Structure 1
């Protein structure tokens, strides 16, 4: 449950007291006016999270025309009734409108509705990396009107040869059809992206090929589609933080090591085909300084040879059989060089979580980085190590590479260590992490992801997911991919919302200053109105400006499970103490204050009301004079 309110002052207390001004209380006491005790405004604040910053585009099309900077490259685009309409009469016409600016890390959201389609296979897309003039190549996240098809959702590239490269497909839980609003989003971090359909992640990719100047776009093919509430928000550059509701990132430990000989290209291929997001492998140098993919310090366990890897030349290592120990079908598999592994990933797809194994000199780390550069894989490699020096060398030589620190047990202060080492992720033993689950939230607050190793149990996967772990390094990558698929089929968690302050039915004195607080579960947006007018969670209610009597707070929360609403009423009461508060905080001049407080102290309410009416806008500010007079007349009738 999330309790939404303004944050409390610094300190350990989860609640705070907001008394009315002490000078006001003292003055009323001096006048012997019975003052009501101000009720505390109690709320809790959820911890800060590593949330992104600027909203780059926010467009609802209410202006009635195409927004400035939106370029209708081809096709018919128009704005009507607060929506943007795009029409493509032909399945061969990929009509588009470009806008925005180049961003490496962003969330692209829109409400999409198929108005008409020529066939259920026709589609609309969010363009996630598109030249401003609409030329190829470009990348899109596509939704068909027949969204439940196996390719109802896609990540795809249109190449310079005008050919399609579809990298990922998925089906949605229901068909978009026609006439139905669907809220969709894509979260992009470099070459990675997540496709989010009505609040639920449907698939992800690690295969984007990003440009240096592509912007955003909307596409329509063989249909008329309307768009509304288009929003582009810049994200934190750490795309390894798992959004709420998304499944665990799957990291295949030494490739598909449960199904093939570890740290080989065949293990990498099986892991890739099984749906792993990342391949995790180990790198060490040969005697002649060539980085090879091998876990142990010797070749004894995983090849038909013997000896320390650092005592063997590259030619000697390449002559070894690295597969027959695992099974006869793998006879002849070789120990790959780092360059060979990266070339395979570059051409066939996938990203590498590369562990620098054991002690490495700065020159040896520099060689590893040079190989990564030469293979054009700097944007698709994540370096981790138990060795702090290796991470420091990596940061000095290539600060753009993300870094992860491997730990068998947790540091006393993982956040401080992460800051010192410039970590993108803190990667502890899974059981050690489960013993101190609060560390996950602390690291997330600092913008650091958490990937646990090496976890092969579905029960532990569930526990790690519940504490917010971002990724799991596992020998059973294909099983975890399947577990994730089942995780994504869960019904949306129940959406609830409750107004916690002011309390329902509360009778509040003018001197009180309650804060609007809302408790919501599984909500993405919360909208508040007071007596039908917009308000906000965390806003302090100024009861001096409200009329006496009942007032209604209404709250609407939206989330993956739909919409939930609630209302609550409170009453602003009239009292001698409250009227004294109004007078002393009215901003009236000193002579007027003296006159009003004397009449108040003697209970001359009718005279006070008449006097204030005459002074409204003169010695007493007009906006408060009416409230003082109204309260005084109410007291005169009692």
Structure 2
């Protein structure tokens, strides 16, 4: 997708695009200067490389290939996703870390849950925004898992419970925040203050740049990452179109191009991220080199076959996120 370079090249592109639209050099200069001043004034500098590498490449826990292997949703194929059982299984199966999804109940309790509803993973029904923690605590988080009999009665854990379990097993944590930027930043800041070990053993990541920016505002010492999948506005994870309407699909494709350009040239710099979590189908050697030149690690998701894992470990030498530590399986997006 479109890449124009950084720094002067990026601002020059903005200048010429505005100039073509307005045909007024003064306006073009003013808008370009405003963008530069905005970035210079409000951007967060990235953390020192040695700090971020303690999280992204913890020497004592690296896999045989020298990369971090992170269990997606704590390893949702091997155990019920986003549960204490999954965290324990990930540790037992040799994961370097776990990726955990942060959500909130109706009464503001931070819990582990990927979806906005409890329908897909539990024996309950309804949106989290309407369910209190006391109600969610009665649900079986293993009810719809392929190994439900083995994990029957597993509960939806609070964020606090999950973090304590990860610390116990010395797992790196990838906190995936889907929404609620202010609430998430406040909850995570409290956790980092309560458990300072997290500064060197966790990363906060999100598809939403606003989430990462809010986190850096709340605590600039936290390692952060942007998550990205090209064409995410116009297509689902499997590549199928999101919208039946042709004109809406084309409009969203245009927005996808702009979003991809912004991720590569503005947003990562504004947020000062240490890593870029990219959907596996869009990673090639030149992708890794592009980000390495900017001091940013690439992490692939979701890598679920032995062949793919060897490719990322041996050829690209980058961290990857997987649904299973034990066998090949279909990916969750």
Q: Structure 2-normalised TM-score?
A: 0.68
Instruction: Supply the distance in 2 between the matched residues of 1:297 and 1:407 (Cα, whole angstroms).
Output: 20
**1:477 paired residue among 319, 325, 331:** 325
**1:366 paired residue among 178, 186, 189:** 186
Equivalent residue, structure 2, for 1:300: 119
Instruction: Supply the distance in 2 between the matched residues of 1:464 and 1:344 (Cα, whole angstroms).
Output: 28
Residues 317 and 335 in structure 1, CA contact (< 8 A), matched pair in contact too: yes
Residues 301 and 320 in structure 2, CA contact (< 8 A), matched pair in contact too: yes
Larger RCO (alpha carbons 8 Å, 6+ apart): 2
Does 2:167 correspond to 1:318? no
Instruction: Supply the distance in 2 between the matched residues of 1:361 and 1:416 (Cα, whole angstroms).
Output: 19
Instruction: Supply the distance in 1 between the matched residues of 2:76 and 2:186 (Cα, whole angstroms).
Output: 28
Instruction: Supply the distance in 1 between the matched residues of 2:229 and 2:208 (Cα, whole angstroms).
Output: 12
Residues 454 and 472 in structure 1, CA contact (< 8 A), matched pair in contact too: yes
Kindly provide the CA deviation profile for residues 41-73 of structure 1, in whole angstroms up to 9, marking residues without a partner as x: xxxxxxxxxxx99xxxxxxxxxxxxxxxxxxxx
- Counting only pairs closer than 5 Å after superposition, residues 325-344 of structure 1 correspond to structure 2 as 325-326=144-145, 327-344=148-165
Residues 65 and 313 in structure 2, CA contact (< 8 A), matched pair in contact too: no
Residues 175 and 203 in structure 2, CA contact (< 8 A), matched pair in contact too: yes
**1:271 paired residue among 80, 90, 95:** 90
- Counting only pairs closer than 5 Å after superposition, residues 16-95 of structure 1 correspond to structure 2 as none
Equivalent residue, structure 2, for 1:249: 68
CA shift, 1:360, in A, is: 1.1
**1:449 paired residue among 293, 297, 317:** 297
Kindly provide the CA deviation profile for residues 324-347 of structure 1, in whole angstroms up to 9, marking residues without a partner as x: 322112111000000000111222
Superposed CA RMSD: 2.8
Residues 106 and 130 in structure 2, CA contact (< 8 A), matched pair in contact too: yes
Residues 73 and 100 in structure 2, CA contact (< 8 A), matched pair in contact too: yes
Does 2:198 correspond to 1:378? yes
Residues 78 and 325 in structure 2, CA contact (< 8 A), matched pair in contact too: no
**Relative to total residues, which structure has the larger helix share, 1 or 2?**
2
- Counting only pairs closer than 5 Å after superposition, residues 224-243 of structure 1 correspond to structure 2 as none
Does 2:54 correspond to 1:189? yes
Instruction: Supply the distance in 2 between the matched residues of 1:302 and 1:340 (Cα, whole angstroms).
Output: 19
Kindly provide the CA deviation profile for residues 183-207 of structure 1, in whole angstroms up to 9, marking residues without a partner as x: xxxxx8379742xxxxxxxxx338x
Equivalent residue, structure 1, for 2:280: 430
**Distance change >3 Å, CA 461–CA 392, structure 1 → 2:** same
**1:205 paired residue among 55, 58, 61:** 61
Instruction: Supply the distance in 2 between the matched residues of 1:335 and 1:290 (Cα, whole angstroms).
Output: 12
Instruction: Supply the distance in 1 between the matched residues of 2:265 and 2:313 (Cα, whole angstroms).
Output: 20
Instruction: Supply the distance in 1 between the matched residues of 2:125 and 2:75 (Cα, whole angstroms).
Output: 24
3-state SS in 2 of match to 1:330: coil
Instruction: Supply the distance in 2 between the matched residues of 1:205 and 1:459 (Cα, whole angstroms).
Output: 22
**Distance change >3 Å, CA 262–CA 191, structure 1 → 2:** closer
Residues 57 and 67 in structure 2, CA contact (< 8 A), matched pair in contact too: no
3-state SS in 2 of match to 1:270: helix
- Counting only pairs closer than 5 Å after superposition, residues 216-231 of structure 1 correspond to structure 2 as none
Residues 56 and 68 in structure 2, CA contact (< 8 A), matched pair in contact too: no
Does 2:243 correspond to 1:399? no
Equivalent residue, structure 1, for 2:33: none
3-state SS in 2 of match to 1:254: helix
Equivalent residue, structure 2, for 1:582: none
Residues 342 and 377 in structure 1, CA contact (< 8 A), matched pair in contact too: no
Kindly provide the CA deviation profile for residues 520-548 of structure 1, in whole angstroms up to 9, marking residues without a partner as x: xxxxxxxxxxxxxxxxxxxxxxxxxxxxx
Q: Structure 1-normalised TM-score?
A: 0.37
Instruction: Supply the distance in 2 between the matched residues of 1:247 and 1:282 (Cα, whole angstroms).
Output: 26
**Distance change >3 Å, CA 417–CA 319, structure 1 → 2:** same
The structure number with the bigger radius of gyration is 1
Instruction: Supply the distance in 2 between the matched residues of 1:309 and 1:461 (Cα, whole angstroms).
Output: 34
Instruction: Supply the distance in 2 between the matched residues of 1:345 and 1:329 (Cα, whole angstroms).
Output: 21
CA shift, 1:386, in A, is: 0.5
Structure 1 unmatched runs, 5+: 1-51, 54-103, 107-187, 195-203, 207-241, 481-638
